[in-house]
Structure 1
Amino acid sequence: MSSSIQERLIPHLTCFGCGPANERGLRLRSYPGDDGVTAEFLPWPEHDNGLGYLNGGIISTLLDCHSAAAVMHEAEQRGLVAPGGGLAYVTAGLDVRFLRPAPLTEPVTLVARVAEATDDQMTAEVELRWDGKPRAAATALWKRWRPRT
């Protein structure tokens, strides 16, 4: 399988959700597709919400980090990714809606697309799906990252 967006653009990132360099993290792997950016994720037993379903905090992390992949992919297409990759945008807001329970023992699918984009900020729409139905959805606002010196 080809390298994920995260492996190509942010290989040294240690983010808990999507950082390829975090051995103890979720290590989400997202890929460009026809309908946006997609990923599959198999929850761990430790992600239990106490009732046998996927924990809302983990769901929020997945939605945030998968929207990041959509934004990074868009930034790459626009030539806004720094040479050698790197994080070009950071989360400025995340509006999560929990729609129905998500399974703890089966893979879930994530789908994201950039809905609005300028060089300074992007808005992504992202869903976590299982069994053909959205289980959670979010709108993520991303702002351009410019480290201050």
Structure 2
Amino acid sequence: MLPGMTSSPAGPSIQERLVPDLTCFGCGPANPRGLQLRSFPGVDGATAQFTPWPEHDNGLGYLNGGIISTVLDCHSAAAVLDEADRRGWGPLTGAALPYVTAGLDVRFLRPAPLGEPLSLVAVVTRADESAMTVEVELRWDGKPRAGAVAHWKRWRPRPPS
């Protein structure tokens, strides 16, 4: 098991269930060198745990902001995938994912430690088939460390020219 992964609280993660061949650096189950974030549906939104690696240091002994942004983006993606799946808005032919990030407004609130399990929670606040909005937060020691509002758009692949 890679350092960022945690054991499954209830079977396969959203990513393992819906996009098992995805090679995304942050959450792709098929990327053995990636973070392999694993998100799970919950009563109050999608949840995950992530333990940063020593290589994720920002130079001051805390978690790098780029890694924070990546896990916020990828965890919000899991909430979107789960919402789309529950509503029957599955993948389009020729698209690996039914939705893509259209915007990510990240707020860094407090330093996040290295080597400690961090919690993530994501809640879909607006959903229709063409777009979704998600509020996502990274927490440690009972306090938010970073948060974001993620905007997702339905992916419409263009035919080859």
Selected match of 2:34 from 25, 43, 48 = 25
Please report how far the alpha carbon of residue 82 of structure 1 lies from its aligned counterpart in structure 2 after TM superposition. Answer: 2.9
Is 2:92–2:98's contact at 8 Å kept on the other side of the alignment? no
For these two proteins, the number of residue pairs brought into alignment is: 149
Mapping of residues 1-149 of structure 1, within 5 Å = 1=8, 2-82=11-91, 86-149=96-159
Dislocated runs of 4+, deviation >6 Å: none
Equivalents in 1 of 2:147, 2:12: separation in Å?
Answer: 26
User: Quick one: which amino acid aligns to residue 132 of structure 2?
Assistant: M
Q: Aligned with 2:41: secondary structure? A: strand
Task: Give the TM-score of the pair, scaled to structure 1.
Answer: 0.97
Equivalents in 2 of 1:86, 1:56: separation in Å?
Answer: 27
Is 2:46–2:78's contact at 8 Å kept on the other side of the alignment? yes
Equivalents in 2 of 1:31, 1:43: separation in Å?
Answer: 19
**Sequence identity percentage:** 73
Distance 1:121 1:83, change over 3 A: closer
Please report how far the alpha carbon of residue 83 of structure 1 lies from its aligned counterpart in structure 2 after TM superposition. Answer: 8.2
Please report how far the alpha carbon of residue 136 of structure 1 lies from its aligned counterpart in structure 2 after TM superposition. Answer: 0.1
Equivalents in 2 of 1:19, 1:81: separation in Å?
Answer: 18
Range 74-83 or range 46-55, more displaced: 74-83
Equivalents in 2 of 1:69, 1:54: separation in Å?
Answer: 22
Task: Give the TM-score of the pair, scaled to structure 2.
Answer: 0.90
User: Quick one: which amino acid aligns to residue 16 of structure 1?
Assistant: F
Is 1:9–1:86's contact at 8 Å kept on the other side of the alignment? no
Unaligned runs of 5+ in 2: 1-7
